[in-house]
A and B are shown apart, each in its own frame.
Chain A
Amino acid sequence: GAVVSQHPSWVICKSGTSVKIECRSLDFQATTMFWYRQFPKQSLMLMATSNEGSKATYEQGVEKDKFLINHASLTLSTLTVTSAHPEDSSFYICSAPRTGSSYEQYFGPGTRLTVT
């Protein structure tokens, strides 16, 4: 079946540094990928829609200059958290829809970011 991977699965960084998270569709092409953020004991909130060949679409309240998204190819989207602060500590999850007759959507395993 379709699989979406994320790398790294967890990362600890110091305040002020940048962190890049990768989301890959392993056996299908994804022109669109979604990035969600989940704070502890809360629900998942959509941050942005990553579009291959064009700019990402950010949800209201998400700083596009802080959360840089690059859809580098049909199987890879990256989320870079720039100048990370402790309040950016969260669980980041990507998803990729597989186009076709059923438009199934597949989630990555998530990346846990801790900013110290």
Chain B
Amino acid sequence: AQKVTQAQTEISVVEKEDVTLDCVYETRDTTYYLFWYKQPPSGELVFLIRRNSFDEQNEISGRYSRNFQKSTSSFNFTITASQVVDSAVYFCALSEGLGAAGNKLTFGGGTRVLVKP
């Protein structure tokens, strides 16, 4: 069965610091997708970044970057130069199988990020 673990429950930083969120996943499938979502106080999930199990490169999208390490089953996420508006709960999620990007998701427990001015 799939499982996603976010060991950090809460992180507090000062604005402009970088923030790295850890995510470790378990799956028996060879085809899967990993996602990071942001959930602000309004509750609506905001898609941030994703990666499938067969990509080779770690991407950077604006201030967001991902670090996928298949050998350690980790999918870490970094916010560069954090801003107060980045304060939210961040979820790592996993979906498996063919068409995995559109399959049901298993979420990690979430990491609350607080960015102080």
B105–A98 CB distance below 8 A? no
Report how far A100 CA is from B36 CA in the complex, Å. Answer: 21
Please report whether the interface of chain A is mostly helix, strand, loop or mixed according to DSSP: strand
Interface residues of A in 94-116 (CB under 8 A from B): 95, 97-99, 102-105, 107, 109-110, 112
Number of interface residues of B (CB under 8 A): 19
Residues in A neighbouring B42, C-beta threshold 8 A: 109
Q: Which residue of B lies closest to A109 (CB)?
A: B44
B104–A99 CB distance below 8 A? no
A105–B107 CB distance below 8 A? no
> What does the 1/0 interface line of B78-117 toward A look like (CB < 8 Å)?
0000000000000100010001111111111110000000
B104–A43 CB distance below 8 A? no
Q: Does B43 contact A (CB under 8 A)?
A: yes
Report how far A65 CA is from B100 CA in the complex, Å. Answer: 29
Q: Does B45 contact A (CB under 8 A)?
A: yes
> What does the 1/0 interface line of B33-53 toward A look like (CB < 8 Å)?
000000000111101000000
Q: Does A93 contact B (CB under 8 A)?
A: yes
> What does the 1/0 interface line of A8-26 toward B look like (CB < 8 Å)?
0000000000000000000
Residues in B neighbouring A56, C-beta threshold 8 A: none
Residues in B neighbouring A68, C-beta threshold 8 A: none
B104–A34 CB distance below 8 A? yes
